[in-house]
Amino acid sequence: MKPGLVCASCLLTWLIERLALASRESECYDMVRSVSGVIRDGFHPTANVGSLANRSIEIADEMIRDCAEHFAKIKSGNNQIARQALPKARDFIAGAKSPKEAFERTCALAAAGNVAPVGAPSGASKFEEVDNILKGRSALPSFEGDVYGAVRNSSHILYVADNSGEIGFDSLLLSKINEMGKKITLVVKEGPFFEDATQKEVSFFGLDACVDRVLTTRAFFVPAESPPALVDAFKKSDLVICKGTGNYEGLQDETEGKSTIFMLKVKCRPISRMLQMNIGDFVVRLVK
């Protein structure tokens, strides 16, 4: 995704608020100076926001690892709350009147789980948006394009996950895609990585049973900068499902013409303008 002017300050805020939770203040000053250099040298109208974030993550890697214990508690809470909601979520999906409606309900819950804040989380997510959908208090997210048809007509799907807890709702969609006979490569973060899903979440939600392969990436998915195995899986896939803001920033404009389903909550002005949606809206959008 090409940056808006506020993306520079947002990137710094995203890192500082998270790292300051468990790092020495002097380390944070050093990190800000280094990341400011990344922004100074690489911030221009045709830059990729995901790429800038990844270069910043590389600089802050040791500090991110130092924060692992703090975020482990938040991730555990996210996972437990999401798992408790899954039985009702399955009942909600089972109440659909057609396979297409069941699939869209599943997508809606996966999208509505994308609630991690731009700033640092203060505790476990309550997934209130999912709960509101299950109780009929909220409409489903906006659907743009024939998402069901895109999955039905695909054979190999690359599924790029985002956050802990949220991936529990992804598990419903991954199971549904698996039932459709599709090959799935699931991508999660190499841990530790703030509140994002890792192999631990894959095991916690039993996702090995419904995907063909699990790959990891140290930061956000940018095809040109990813590990060889992930680049190969991307090239071999005929559809990508991309979850969350960070992955949207890395993959938008970088899909190489490959059909992609973006699923996320609109959390900032640049993405709001790009998607022509309001901040706070949820969307499931097929881009061909």
For residues 58 and 180, state if they share a domain.
no
Report whether pLDDT(24) > 90: no
Report whether pLDDT(265) > 80: yes
Q: Residue 21: what pLDDT?
A: 82
Report whether pLDDT(22) > 80: no
Is residue 127 within 8 A of residue 164, CB to CB? The reply is no
The predicted model gives 188-205 an average pLDDT of: 97
Structural domain contains residue 2: no
| CATH code of the domain covering residue 76 | 3.40.50.10880
Instruction: Give the Cβ contact number of residue 257 at 10 Å.
Output: 6
For residues 225 and 256, state if they share a domain.
yes
Structural domain contains residue 149: yes
Domains contained in the chain, number: 2
Helix 68-94 to helix 166-179 angle (10° resolution) is: 50
Token pair 């895609």 is found at 177
For residues 47 and 86, state if they share a domain.
no
For residues 30 and 102, state if they share a domain.
no
Maximum distance among all Cα pairs of the chain, rounded to whole angstroms: 58
pLDDT, greater one: 277 or 119:
277
Structural domain contains residue 1: no
Per DSSP, helices labelled H in the chain are 7-19, 25-42, 49-59, 61-66, 68-94, 99-112, 128-134, 147-152, 166-179, 199-204, 228-236, 245-251, 269-275
* Tokens linked to 158: 């690359």
What DSSP character marks residue 163? B
Report whether pLDDT(83) > 80: yes
For residues 30 and 110, state if they share a domain.
no
36 exposure class (CB count in 10 Å sphere: 0-12, 13-18, 19+): middle
The predicted model gives 254-263 an average pLDDT of: 95
Q: Which of 199, 219, 189 is nearest to 15 (CA)?
A: 219
For residues 62 and 88, state if they share a domain.
no
Against a cut of 0.85, is the pTM above it?
A: yes
Helix 25-42 to helix 7-19 angle (10° resolution) is: 160
Report whether pLDDT(258) > 90: yes
Please report which confidence band the pLDDT of residue 197 belongs to, taking 50, 70 and 90 as the band edges: very high
d(CA 275, CA 16): 27
Q: 223 preceded by cis ω (within 30°)?
A: no
Query: pLDDT, tens digit, for every residue of 111-153?
Result: 999 999 988 898 999 999 999 999 999 999 999 999 999 999 9
* Tokens linked to 25: 């203040």
Structural domain contains residue 226: yes
Q: Residue 3: what pLDDT?
A: 95
* Domain span holding position 22: 7-66
d(CA 223, CA 236): 12
